[in-house]
Structures are given as structure tokens and as C-alpha cells.
């Protein structure tokens, strides 16, 4: 691998989209008010209301962990607990930040194709009013999920309804929310605001941005002190216009949807190309372990073959005990990248 090669390890490893880089250059002139009182952030506030509802408020932050922790902290007291799946990013990949920084408790249920089920939610919904139990006060789902699947609006509506009936806030971790919107062919409103989501962690970095995420408060009634918590959790940017400009650019001319649609399309091409090779007998020993609905392909292959393949192309093991690997596509993945990768897989897994 060269330092300039494109791999399949993570959409985080892609560069900054050229249109976003151009936007950063445009706002890099003159002086503007700091800490979010600039013209760019003001425009973004109206854009967010256009896409999430007239009561929505946006709080740009540096990273996804900061968005998740700050949002959930604002949604509950310190004795609160969050119901999520056992594969949720807040549980597996945030270094204990929700517990250590916020002090909240995570209550996890087994994921089914990456998703929280109504049964999984209800399994942890008890114990309210019992001082011996952490109080379940929020539910968090990831859209698209850590396994590359996508919740339908009906699935979200059912979970949100169960949460609200029990006095819980409903949070959506949207690290790859653009990929979900592209897969569903829907506006953000249709699978967030309209179906009961209260809070969104709006991802951008995985879709061509650079250190740019945001908290979107759809329902201001369920949070308290977000303005202060963002500073308290070290997520308040002084030169916020450079974060806001990236987010705004993803909305302008539907760049975010265009980029996510391309990444999703490349993932489908990767899967269909491999399926064809398997069908033709050119590849053996490869099976797909999850549906391919967004920009990730999950497969099972012998670890030795995965290790040999990784000498040429970057990607991660997902569950090495069962030989499961994850291949992520990005806004800049090309058909040539896909074709080359498929040929390399055929070399380590000949039919």
C-alpha cells in the first residue's frame, strides 16, 4: 500500500471532499465573531430548521463522541441510564466516555442485524423509581447501524413511541445519517422529527468533512443546559465558522446526499461483484454476514486469507473469532478501486 492508496478500512480514512475544502477557503477571509456568533453558523441554524423542523437547534462540535456524550448528558440527570445495543458505538468504541465523562449508565441489549428491537428496549425499561437501579431515561439508536443496516421510519417510530410512553428521551446517533437518508430515499425529517426522535448526533466527518459534527436538538423540551454543556465537555469551537461551513456545504446542492449515495452504490457494487465471482466459481470460502444497505459490506472469510489480503489493502476485522471482516466505501471510492479489490480477493480465495 502507498500513502495515497484508497482502502476499505473506514470512511474516516478518506480525505476532505474538494467542495468542502473550497468552502473552508471561502470563509477564511476577514474576521467574524467567535464561538458560534458568526454569519456562517447563523445560516446553518436556519438550514437545520429547514431539514429537522422549526424548533430544531444546532450545536456544532468537534467529533462524534463529543456529540453523543454531550447530547445524552443534556437529556438526563447523573443517575440516568441509556438503553442501546451491545454493538452501539457509545458502548464499544468511545473509550468509556459516556460513563466516565457524563457518569451515565449504559444498558445494552443484543442487536438484531445491528438494530435495537422493541423487546431489547423493554428488557431494560423497568426499575423506574427503584433507588437500587440506574434509571432508564434515554434510548439511543445508530442510523445507519454499526453493521451497515438501516432502520425504517416505522421501526424508529415504534421504538420512539415505546420510549416516550415510559418517559424516556429518544436519541439518534447519526454518524452515517447521510448514508441512511440516501438508502431510504427520504429527507431527514421523515425518519427523525416525524417519527419521534428528540436528539440527533449529526455526522459529517465520515461523509467528506474534517473534524465537523453537530448536535441537533429537535425537541428543546427534553434537554437542559446544552449551551453550557458544550463548553463544559470541551466541544465549543472558537472559530466555529470553519465547522459550520463544512456542515452547511453538505446541505448545499445536496452534496451530502450525493456523496453518501455514491458510497452506498460502491458498497453494492462490491457485494454484487463478489457474488458474481462466487456464482462463477472464481471465489470460494467467502460468505456475507450482514445485509448491505448503506456503505459497508460485512463478510466472513478465513483469517489467514484476510491477513494476506490486508498486506495489499487496508480493512479491519470485525469479529476475528468468526472470521468476520468489514469493508467500508467512501465518497471517493471508485469503480476501479472496487474492481481491483475484487480481483485481489479472488487471488487469496481462488475458486
Task: Give whole-number Cα distances, 304 to 283, 289, 310, 316, 317, in Å.
Answer: 15, 18, 10, 13, 12
For the chain, the domains span 18-253, 256-348
Question: Using an 8 Å Cβ cutoff, are 174 and 201 in contact?
Answer: yes
pLDDT of residue 277: 97
Sheet holding 169-174, edge to edge: 57-61, 213-217, 199-202, 169-174, 135-142, 80-85, 105-109
Mean pLDDT of 196-201: 98
Residues 290, 88, 220, 252, CA torsion sign? negative
Would you say residue 3 has pLDDT above 80? Answer: no
pLDDT of residue 144: 97
Per DSSP, the three-state class of 148 is coil
Please write the tens of the pLDDT for every residue from 171-185. Answer: 999 999 999 999 999
Instruction: Report the alpha-carbon distance of residue 233 to residue 110 in Å, rounded.
Output: 30
Q: If pLDDT is split at 50, 70 and 90, which confidence band does 2 have?
A: very low
**First-to-final CA distance of the chain:** 25
Please write the tens of the pLDDT for every residue from 210-233. Answer: 999 999 999 999 999 999 999 999
Topology of the domain comprising 18-253: 3.40.640
Task: Give whole-number Cα distances, 293 to 66, 86, 240, 288, 342, in Å.
Answer: 27, 20, 33, 13, 19
Pairing of strands 135-142, 57-61: unpaired
Would you say residue 334 has pLDDT above 50? Answer: yes
Mean pLDDT of 233-241: 96
Topology of the domain comprising 256-348: 3.90.1150
Instruction: Report the alpha-carbon distance of residue 134 to residue 122 in Å, rounded.
Output: 15
Burial of 279 (0-12, 13-18, 19+ CB in 10 A): exposed
Please write the tens of the pLDDT for every residue from 271-309. Answer: 999 999 999 999 999 999 999 999 999 999 999 999 999
pLDDT of residue 5: 74
Crossing angle, helix 335-348 and helix 255-279, to 10 degrees? 30
Would you say residue 351 has pLDDT above 90? Answer: no
pLDDT of residue 1: 44
Please write the tens of the pLDDT for every residue from 33-88. Answer: 999 999 999 999 999 999 999 999 999 999 999 999 999 999 999 899 999 999 99
Which of 339, 243, 253 lies closest to 35, judged by CA?
Answer: 243
pLDDT of residue 64: 96
Would you say residue 4 has pLDDT above 90? Answer: no
Over the chain, what is the mean pLDDT? 96
Amino acid at each position: 500500500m502507498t500513502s495515497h492508496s484508497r482502502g476499505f478500512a473506514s470512511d474516516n480514512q478518506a480525505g476532505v471532499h474538494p467542495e468542502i475544502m473550497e468552502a473552508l477557503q471561502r470563509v477564511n477571509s476577514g474576521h467574524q465573531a467567535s464561538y458560534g456568533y458568526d454569519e456562517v453558523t447563523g445560516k446553518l441554524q436556519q438550514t437545520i430548521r429547514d431539514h429537522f423542523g422549526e424548533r430544531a437547534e444546532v450545536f456544532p462540535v468537534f467529533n462524534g463522541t463529543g456529540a453523543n456524550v454531550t447530547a445524552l448528558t443534556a437529556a438526563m440527570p447523573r443517575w440516568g441510564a441509556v438503553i442501546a445495543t451491545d454493538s452501539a458505538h457509545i458502548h464499544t468504541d468511545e473509550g468509556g466516555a459516556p460513563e466516565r465523562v457524563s457518569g451515565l449508565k449504559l444498558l445494552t441489549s443484543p442487536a438484531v442485524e445491528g438494530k435495537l428491537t422493541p423487546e431489547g428496549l423493554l428488557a431494560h425499561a423497568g426499575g423506574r423509581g427503584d433507588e437500587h437501579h440506574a434509571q432508564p431515561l434515554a434510548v439511543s439508536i445508530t442510523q445507519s447501524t454499526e453493521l451497515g443496516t438501516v432502520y425504517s421510519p416505522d421501526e424508529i417510530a415504534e421504538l420512539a413511541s415505546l420510549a416516550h410512553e415510559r418517559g424516556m428521551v429518544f436519541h439518534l446517533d447519526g454518524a452515517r445519517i447521510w448514508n441512511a437518508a440516501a438508502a431510504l430515499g427520504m429527507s431527514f425529517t421523515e425518519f427523525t422529527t416525524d417519527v419521534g426522535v428528540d436528539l440527533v448526533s449529526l455526522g459529517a466527518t465520515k461523509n467528506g468533512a474534517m473534524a465537523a459534527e453537530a448536535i441537533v436538538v429537535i425537541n428543546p423540551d427534553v434537554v437542559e443546559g446544552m449551551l453550557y454543556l458544550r463548553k463544559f465537555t470541551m466541544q465549543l469551537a472558537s472559530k466555529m465558522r470553519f465547522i459550520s461551513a463544512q456542515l452547511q456545504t453538505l446541505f448545499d446542492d445536496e452534496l451530502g446526499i450525493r456523496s453518501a449515495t455514491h458510497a452506498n452504490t460502491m458498497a453494492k457494487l462490491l457485494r454484487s461483484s463478489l457474488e458474481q465471482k462466487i456464482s462463477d466459481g472464481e471465489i470460494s470460502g467467502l460468505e456475507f454476514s450482514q445485509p448491505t444497505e448503506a456503505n459497508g459490506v460485512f463478510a466472513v472469510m478465513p483469517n489467514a486469507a484476510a491477513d494476506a489480503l490486508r498486506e495489499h489493502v487496508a480493512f479491519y476485522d470485525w469479529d476475528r473469532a468468526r472470521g468476520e471482516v468489514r469493508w467500508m466505501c467512501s465518497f471517493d471510492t471508485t469503480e476501479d478501486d472496487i474492481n481491483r479489490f475484487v480481483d485481489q480477493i479472488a487471488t487469496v480465495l481462488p475458486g
